Amino acid sequence: MRMGSLFLSRRYTLLTIVILLLLFALILMSLRVKQKGGVEGLDAFLIELYSPFQKGATSIFNKVKGLFYSYLFLVELEKENRILKQKIARLERENQEMKALASSGERLRKLLQFRDSFSMKMVAAEVIGRDPTSWFKSLTLNKGERDGVQRGMAVLSPEGVVGQILKTGPYHSIVLLITDYNSAVDGMVERTKAKALVKGTGENRCYLKYLLRSEEVNVGDRVITSGLTGNFPKGLAIGEITKIEKESHGVFQYAELIPKVDFTKLEEVLIVTETFTPPPQKGKPIKKTK
């Protein structure tokens, strides 16, 4: 340990002496230049001796200077990058908000056009909730008894039939979707005028109950409301037949259909606030009742 310490002490002492000699030579050379206005003899020797050290020091200084400026540049660049990312995030958020507003405006425009195509009274409502359980297929609306909404009223969208009002409160109501087990809507195959009851399967499907086996129906046929009950006017789209099964015996056949309305994307609906008394016989006008 003592030998190592002695060696290091001598090493640092030698380095210190060399540095001091170089500084002394530099000072001496500067004084001689000021006195004579030039360099000769010893001065030239001192320059040759000092130059390599001066060159190395200058190189180190330039590298340190370059690293320092590079660091400052990177710090400024990182700051600008962070600001730009914040601006991009804000612009993307504003763009999404504008798209949502445009989409909402387009939906409302279609809703108003659909409402204006009928002479019956309707109330526009917003979907504010969905049944979280799998027991019922229902939606919660932001309109209720204070808006004239009553149990059994038809609920529509521009795409077609949504369901019927199941429960009402002063400011809210619940609509039972046509895909629920408990739902039943009088329907008709548009092409053949075949009558049947549209029942829900509990999933995202419906089926035609009491569809006579003798009726001609095909996959792709459109099913609409028949207008035989007082809550749904005639001709509203319900769905499209996707599956048909005919047993070898029996009076009825089975036909499955996909609803026209995509209930997962439904945000606004129309509630029909007046009912219609179906004609007692063909040719008699329909009487409106409020």
Indicate if the pLDDT at residue 40 is higher than 60. no
Query: Which residue shows structure tokens 């400052």?
Result: 72
Give the Å distances, CA to CA, from 151 to 166, 177, 185, 231, 271.
Answer: 5, 13, 15, 10, 11
The pTM (predicted TM-score) of the whole model is: 0.61
Look at residues 279, 288, 181, 197 and name the one whose alpha carbon lies nearest to residue 238.
197
Which residues are paired to 129 by β-bridges?
A: 140
Looking at residue 93, its pLDDT comes to: 79
Dihedral sign, CA of 252, 254, 255, 257? positive
Q: Would you call 97 exposed, middle or buried from its count of C-beta atoms within 10 A (0-12, 13-18, 19+)?
A: exposed
Q: Would you put residue 73 in left (φ > 0), alpha (ψ -120 to 50) or beta? A: alpha
Query: Which residue shows structure tokens 């003592």?
Result: 2
Q: Which residues contact 224 (CB under 8 A, 6 or more apart)?
A: 187, 188, 190, 234, 235, 236, 237, 238
Looking at residue 118, its pLDDT comes to: 73
pLDDT band at 218 (very low <50, low <70, confident <90, very high): very high
Indicate if the pLDDT at residue 281 is higher than 80. no
Give the Å distances, CA to CA, from 230 to 8, 187, 208.
Answer: 108, 13, 20
For the stretch 143-168, pLDDT in tens is: 999 999 999 999 999 899 999 999 99
CB 172, CB 273: distance < 8 Å: no
Determine the angle formed by the axes of helices 42-116 and 2-36, rounding to 10 degrees.
100
Determine the Cα–Cα distance for residues 92 and 281; give it in Å rounded to an integer: 60
For the stretch 172-213, pLDDT in tens is: 999 999 999 999 999 999 999 999 999 999 888 999 999 999
For the stretch 62-82, pLDDT in tens is: 676 667 677 777 778 778 888
Determine the Cα–Cα distance for residues 266 and 261; give it in Å rounded to an integer: 8
Span 243-265, average pLDDT: 90
Determine the Cα–Cα distance for residues 235 and 147; give it in Å rounded to an integer: 26
